[in-house]
């Protein structure tokens, strides 16, 4: 069903101020580049001024202190935080939730010993193995696999193609996107004169409440004990978490980042895109590894790791600035040597 709001109504919802036509009608959200007259977009700073001028958006959210008049035909809404305000509008204009009918699809396989609570959806060709338990109102989508003795909590969504291996524990309100693999064996081998011998991976994966895991991400089972993703963690697509890793509450792991075995991430740690964390180290609460950087040793709380090998922000900036300082110093030396040569020339002339 189409949703329709006036600019004045949106401004009231986000506590903003309209500059332009308060009766401008909005039916959807979009980016500045792609938006049409009936759509609302946003920007956070003047560096997007050109994009705003070229946009066909009928309404644009701008910062509260925005000093520019809107282009002809466009209405602006001044607000405290356009990004957050736009997220709120995205929720308002979101389509109706998809329908997942309660019950087991005829093509799905549910083992007789598996336990399904009320309100569970099991989609086409999904597989739920022996002893598995699925909580209330959970959705197991098409072609998902739930292994033996695995427990999945309430109001959790397991999207198509997800594979959750045996004895894993998944909490409530968890979202696992397509083709993620939870509980594959950790990568462990012993070198012998006969070759590499596999080390048994006897632990599990535990994923706590309110975690979201992106498409094609992999979280390995522990060698012993558990690999543990704590409450509120958000994991992007194509992220790798190795065996016996602990990821602290509300941490964020962004695309193609990776954490090696037995590393421990504290609360609120951020790994940016393609960042790496070495095995058997500890990342303090609130620490951050920047994109393409590698944390190779333990870091204290709040530290930011730059570069490869990783180092603190202070060390990185000092090393980065060193060539500039050396060049400036060499320029000063050249000037002093020239001045010295000039003075020596004068002294030699006087001696004659």
CATH of 5-92, one of 2.60.130.10, 3.40.1390.10, 3.40.1050.10, 3.30.210.10: 3.40.1390.10
Dist CA 295 CA 86 (whole Å): 34
- pLDDT band at 351, cuts 50/70/90? low
Mean pLDDT for the stretch of residues 16-41: 97
**Number of Cβ within a 10 Å radius of residue 284:** 18
- Count Cα atoms within 13 angstroms, Cβ side, for 98: 6
For 340, which DSSP code? H
Query: Beta 17-19 vs 75-79: how paired, if at all?
Result: antiparallel
Contact criterion met (CB below 8 Å) for 234 and 254: no
Sorted by where each begins, the domain ranges of the chain are: 5-92, 103-311, 313-352
- pLDDT band at 195, cuts 50/70/90? very high
CATH of 103-311, one of 1.10.10.10, 3.90.1150.170, 3.40.30.10, 2.160.10.10: 2.160.10.10
pLDDT digits (tens, 9 = 90+) for 138-154: 999 999 999 999 999 99
Reference 116, options 153, 157, 159; nearest CA is 153
Task: Write the secondary structure of 192-258 as one string of H (helix), E (strand) and C (coil).
Answer: ECCEEEECCCCCEEEECCCCEECCCCEEECCCCCEEEECCCCEECCCCEECCCCEECCCCEECCCCE
Query: Beta 304-306 vs 311-312: how paired, if at all?
Result: antiparallel
Mean pLDDT for the stretch of residues 282-290: 97
Hey, which residues are catalytic here? 243
**Residue 352 pLDDT:** 53
Q: What is the mean pLDDT of the chain?
A: 95
Reference 62, options 77, 74, 51; nearest CA is 77
Dist CA 110 CA 122 (whole Å): 9
pLDDT digits (tens, 9 = 90+) for 157-188: 999 999 999 999 999 999 999 999 999 999 99
Contact criterion met (CB below 8 Å) for 126 and 120: no
Question: Helix, strand, coil proportions of the chain in percent (round to 5)?
Answer: 20, 30, 50
Cβ within 8 Å of residue 339, ≥6 positions away:
none
pLDDT digits (tens, 9 = 90+) for 229-259: 999 999 999 999 999 999 999 999 999 999 9
pTM of the shown model: 0.86
């Amino acid at each position: 069903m189409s949703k329709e709001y006036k600019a004045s109504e949106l401004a009231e919802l986000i506590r903003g101020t309209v500059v332009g036509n308060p009766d401008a009608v909005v039916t959807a959200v979009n980016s500045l580049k792609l938006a049409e007259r009936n759509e609302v977009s946003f920007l956070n700073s003047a560096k997007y001024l050109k994009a705003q001028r070229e946009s066909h958006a009928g309404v644009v959210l701008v910062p509260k202190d925005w000093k520019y008049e809107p282009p002809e035909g466009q209405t602006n809404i001044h607000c405290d935080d356009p990004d957050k305000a736009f997220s709120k509008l995205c929720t308002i204009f979101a389509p109706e939730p998809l329908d997942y009918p309660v019950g087991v699809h005829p093509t799905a396989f549910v083992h007789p010993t598996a336990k399904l609570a009320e309100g569970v959806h099991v989609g086409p060709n999904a597989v739920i193995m022996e002893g598995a338990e699925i909580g209330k109102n959970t959705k197991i989508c098409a072609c998902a696999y739930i292994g033996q003795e695995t427990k999945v909590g309430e109001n959790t969504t397991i999207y198509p193609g997800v594979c959750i291996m045996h004895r894993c524990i998944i909490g409530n309100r968890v979202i696992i996107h397509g083709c993620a693999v939870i509980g594959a064996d950790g990568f462990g081998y012993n070198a012998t004169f006969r070759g590499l011998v596999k080390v048994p991976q006897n632990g599990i994966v535990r994923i706590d409440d309110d975690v979201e895991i992106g498409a094609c991400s992999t979280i390995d089972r522990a060698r012993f004990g558990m690999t543990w993703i704590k409450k509120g963690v958000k994991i992007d697509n194509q992220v790798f978490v190795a065996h016996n890793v602990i990821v602290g509450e509300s941490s964020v792991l962004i695309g193609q980042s990776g954490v090696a075995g037995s590393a421990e991430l504290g609360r609120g740690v951020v790994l940016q895109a393609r960042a790496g964390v070495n095995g058997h180290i500890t990342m303090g609460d609130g620490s951050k590894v920047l994109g393409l950087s590698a944390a190779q040793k333990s870091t204290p709380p709040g530290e930011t790791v730059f570069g490869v090998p990783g180092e603190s922000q202070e060390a990185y900036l000092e090393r980065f600035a060193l060539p500039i300082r050396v060049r400036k110093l060499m320029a000063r030396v050249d000037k002093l040597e020239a001045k010295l040569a000039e003075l020596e020339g004068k002294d030699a002339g006087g001696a004659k």
